[in-house]
Structure 1
Amino acid sequence: MHPLFWALLLLTLFAALLRQDWIYFLVYIVGGIWLISHWWVRRSLRRLTVHRTFLHRAFVGDEIDVTLHFRNQSWLPIPWLQIREQVPLDLKSIDEYNIVLSVGGKSQGEHHYKLLAKRRGYYAVGPLVLRTGDLFGFTYADWRETNSINVTIYPQVLPLYKVGLPSRSPFGNLSSRQRLFEDPTRLSGVRAYAVGDSLRRIHWKASAHEDNLLVKKFQPAIALDTLIVLDLNRRAYPDKSAFGDSEWAIVVAASLASYAIGQRQPVGLLTNGLDAPTQQQAAPLPIRQGQGHLMAILAALARIQMHEFEQEFADWLPRRINDMPWGTTIILVLPRLDEATLWALHQAYRRGSNVVVLICSPQANFQNIRAQAERLGVKVHRSVWESELRALEGMGQ
């Protein structure tokens, strides 16, 4: 029972004992205000609707504009309304999302605020909490949103040179010195005719101009399909830099996917990481092309988490890549490369895949393992940028 009820009851007893009419009058006035306030506050809150509008997807560093729309469908004004928004720390642009405003009867309005995408991830904004009351402090009413709204923050996408890779790395249909086939639509020049050259390759106009037989030279291209494999097993990363290294690996994977799609290459994603919303191992994304598929890959990389995985990567990988078509480029983004994994990749190379490994953590024996990998047909690059890793580590503190 409300304390005011007991106070009014006590005043009524005093009025009866002292036979003072003014006390009765005070009880009637205060009691009437209390009853009206109780009815007013609850009715007005029931007739109030509130909802948000904002973009549910953004990239790291973006600001997200959020608009709160509120509409009072009752004739009764709301003297004060407190709106408290639950915002994850990694999306906050201010310390508290807490405002107080008044809403007139049969009126509507808006309130604007911003979210700042500080780190990639899959976040829940809300639930929204409303509180209102009367001007005398006699009664309060609360309302809490039943569901939160999910926001996807995509990982950062960088040019290849910013992740430590040459822009002419041999994967996808990108140019490469490793000639698996030549693309007849990509003319790179001419050269002198040699015995055995096909007559279809003769450049007749250039030959006539130079008065010597010249044949067309085409840019080399390799695999038509690209599969990005991302290792997010917590046990594979160094203890002191696991967060920074794994975040950098995700940035590298996102950048590779973006570049491949930009070159109109089909690309897929395979990872042993954990899908945050489902808490299950992330489902593989098939090899496809197009901007829509790129956004699906980026969304998966936004949701992914590093976790403890009992099975070694060298044991987990083979049966997932055994059925890759001949000529597929397999790009592995790993914290380290060991001999067991290297021999598994050598088997993929022997089946006709073009295998590229990107190491995203410092590895003491990198030069030795790289030389061994070259002999086994596996190309190895290192992508460790200390300034980027320091920035990512700072975000995790």
Structure 2
Amino acid sequence: MRRVWPLTARGTGAVVLAIVCFIVANEASLSELMYFGILLLAAVAASVGALYVGRRTESVTRSLSPEVVSVGLEARVAVRVGVRSAVPTAPGIWRDTLPPGLRGKATGVFPALGSGLLGGERGGARSVDLVYTVTGARRGVHPLGPLTVRSSDPFGLARRTVLFGERTPVTVAPAVIDLAPLVDYAGAAGGMLHTTNDQLGQGADNLVARPYASGDSMRRIHWRATAHRDELMVRQEEQESTPEASVVIDRAARRWSPEALQAPGTDPGFEAAVSACVSAVARLVHDGYAVEVLDTEGTVLMERIDGGDMTSVDGLLVQLATLTARRDDELPRLPRLFAGVSTGPIVLVVGRLDASDAAAIGPVAHHSTLPILLATAPFGAALDRAADHGWHVASIDPERDLAPAWANAVGRGVHHVVG
């Protein structure tokens, strides 16, 4: 309970008036004023007693739907307040304290309660449900609460402010932007889930067949071999392969503002980069790629996400909700991570980028079928230099939509074919 003066201005005035009545009654020998002063004090005391004796709170619980809020999206907050009251209570005003990471109007009227004894509740126990909506404003994990309930008596003489200390941690995930698909670039970029044919002989009669196994596509059944063996046989030469992609984010502190080292959600440029990272992952996974998410040091930020597994993408959002920058600068040594590797799309998201950085990461482009470079603060001709090495480049602005920049990067230049 917050310790405050329990009387309103009206109640304080009543006490002052009662004291004046006592003084005047003593000086002028007017017993009527003495009775009037006593009546005022009794009314104030009854008002205070009605507030502080009538209601006792037990607990506050909160639930969010959805449980994880993304930046820019809304969530519904349901608050349940457990109350015990043996006597009727007056209505009040409730307010839930919102952290900087959330926006919304978390206030309303706390309802009046009748006597719990009349309703048959044990000890006058009941619950009050409060609902409001919040919008994610800053990435991170933020404590929601405490809840404050302020009520007054029917005469407006006394007030009571109750502070419920329970806080609920709320995860605000980075914003996911809907990006253009890579369907048009499937052939050059590693493709969607596709089938490769390795002919082992000339003509259908020379195809190799094997017994049918659970999970095999019915389209692969070799009907001639099935009739000959009297059991289901499938074509062995068809091998389904899953294309792979990598999304890399540069966390070097020197490429971001100092705030990016301290807490998530404080550097607009870094926030744009994190949003670009998760948006690219969501797009690639949706297009059927198995995606690896890492930083330029090689630290795996999320285990491999299989194509189509959007549930794991939701897990990535939670994982990156607290991502911050780090002091190491490993971007110039990024080619080591892809040395001797031929892979599908590589999406690299960086902050400040100069011509020397572009030259350092140039070799990476030759290991990818679709190298995409997104920079929040490119200097000079850095992007042109990177494009000369084969990168599909674009500048991303925290104040602008990511989707056009992505479409521009994907559609720019000629796709590389890994040699």
What range is the shorter-chain TM-score in? 0.5 to 0.7
Within a 5 Å distance, the mapping from 1:185-200 to structure 2 comes to 186-187=195-196, 199=200
Identify the match of residue 168 of structure 1 among 145, 164, 186.
186
Offset at 1:76? Answer: 2.0
Within a 5 Å distance, the mapping from 1:218-297 to structure 2 comes to 223=244, 226-233=245-252, 235-236=254-255, 245-262=269-286, 266-271=290-295, 284-289=301-306, 290-297=309-316
CA contact (8 A) 1:72 1:104 kept: no
Question: Normalising by the residue count of structure 2, what TM-score does the alignment of the two structures yield?
Answer: 0.62
Per-residue deviation, residues 206-245 of structure 1 (Å, max 9, x unmatched)? 9xxxxxxxxx79888654xx54321244642699xx9665
Which residue is 1:367 aligned to? Answer: 384
Q: Structure 2 vs 1, CA of residues 131 and 167 (structure 1 numbering), >3 Å: closer, same or farther?
A: farther
Letter in 2 for 1:298: L
Letter in 1 for 2:278: A
Identify the match of residue 37 of structure 2 among 4, 20, 27.
27
Offset at 1:202? Answer: 5.4
2:319 pairs with 1:300: yes
Structure 1 CA distance, aligned partners of 2:268 and 2:183?
Answer: 19
Question: Normalising by the residue count of structure 1, what TM-score does the alignment of the two structures yield?
Answer: 0.65
Letter in 1 for 2:146: P
Per-residue deviation, residues 34-60 of structure 1 (Å, max 9, x unmatched)? 223222212334246544332231334
Offset at 1:74? Answer: 0.7
Q: Structure 2 vs 1, CA of residues 156 and 47 (structure 1 numbering), >3 Å: closer, same or farther?
A: closer
Offset at 1:147? Answer: 3.9
Letter in 2 for 1:333: V
Letter in 2 for 1:102: A
Q: 3-state SS of the aligned residue for 1:199?
A: coil
Which residue is 1:312 aligned to? Answer: 329
Q: Structure 2 vs 1, CA of residues 262 and 71 (structure 1 numbering), >3 Å: closer, same or farther?
A: same
Structure 1 CA distance, aligned partners of 2:183 and 2:111?
Answer: 53
Q: Structure 2 vs 1, CA of residues 71 and 22 (structure 1 numbering), >3 Å: closer, same or farther?
A: farther
Identify the match of residue 47 of structure 2 among 31, 34, 37.
37
Offset at 1:254? Answer: 1.0
Q: 3-state SS of the aligned residue for 1:92?
A: strand
Q: Structure 2 vs 1, CA of residues 327 and 391 (structure 1 numbering), >3 Å: closer, same or farther?
A: closer
Which residue is 2:152 aligned to? Answer: 133
Q: Structure 2 vs 1, CA of residues 244 and 30 (structure 1 numbering), >3 Å: closer, same or farther?
A: closer
Q: 3-state SS of the aligned residue for 1:161?
A: coil
Q: Structure 2 vs 1, CA of residues 128 and 170 (structure 1 numbering), >3 Å: closer, same or farther?
A: farther
Offset at 1:67? Answer: 3.0
Offset at 1:253? Answer: 1.2
Q: Structure 2 vs 1, CA of residues 284 and 50 (structure 1 numbering), >3 Å: closer, same or farther?
A: closer
Q: Structure 2 vs 1, CA of residues 29 and 318 (structure 1 numbering), >3 Å: closer, same or farther?
A: farther
Letter in 1 for 2:349: V
Identify the match of residue 75 of structure 2 among 43, 51, 64.
64
Offset at 1:316? Answer: 7.6
Structure 2 CA distance, aligned partners of 1:236 and 1:166?
Answer: 33
Q: Structure 2 vs 1, CA of residues 359 and 122 (structure 1 numbering), >3 Å: closer, same or farther?
A: same
RMSD: 4.7
Q: Structure 2 vs 1, CA of residues 147 and 110 (structure 1 numbering), >3 Å: closer, same or farther?
A: closer
Structure 1 CA distance, aligned partners of 2:316 and 2:165?
Answer: 30
Higher deviation after alignment, 130-139 or 77-86:
130-139
CA contact (8 A) 1:230 1:332 kept: yes
Q: 3-state SS of the aligned residue for 2:180?
A: helix
Offset at 1:358? Answer: 1.8
Letter in 2 for 1:131: R
Structure 1 CA distance, aligned partners of 2:399 and 2:184?
Answer: 19
Which residue is 1:52 aligned to? Answer: 62
Structure 2 CA distance, aligned partners of 1:201 and 1:339?
Answer: 53
Letter in 2 for 1:257: V
Structure 2 CA distance, aligned partners of 1:152 and 1:36?
Answer: 45
Please list every run of 5 or more consecutive structure 1 residues that lacks an aligned counterpart in the other structure: 177-182, 189-196, 207-215, 274-281, 375-379, 393-397
CA contact (8 A) 1:175 1:220 kept: no
Letter in 1 for 2:383: F
Q: 3-state SS of the aligned residue for 1:35?
A: helix
Which residue is 2:94 aligned to? Answer: 83
CA contact (8 A) 1:85 1:98 kept: no
Structure 1 CA distance, aligned partners of 2:203 and 2:375?
Answer: 45
Q: Structure 2 vs 1, CA of residues 283 and 12 (structure 1 numbering), >3 Å: closer, same or farther?
A: farther
Q: Structure 2 vs 1, CA of residues 267 and 341 (structure 1 numbering), >3 Å: closer, same or farther?
A: same
Structure 1 CA distance, aligned partners of 2:55 and 2:188?
Answer: 63
Aligned residues: 340
Structure 1 CA distance, aligned partners of 2:166 and 2:335?
Answer: 42
Please list every run of 5 or more consecutive structure 2 residues that lacks an aligned counterpart in the other structure: 117-125, 208-236, 259-265, 403-419
Q: Structure 2 vs 1, CA of residues 316 and 304 (structure 1 numbering), >3 Å: closer, same or farther?
A: farther
Q: 3-state SS of the aligned residue for 1:368?
A: helix
Letter in 2 for 1:253: C
Letter in 2 for 1:144: L
Q: 3-state SS of the aligned residue for 2:175?
A: coil
CA contact (8 A) 1:80 1:100 kept: yes
Identity across matched positions, percent? 17
Structure 2 CA distance, aligned partners of 1:235 and 1:360?
Answer: 14
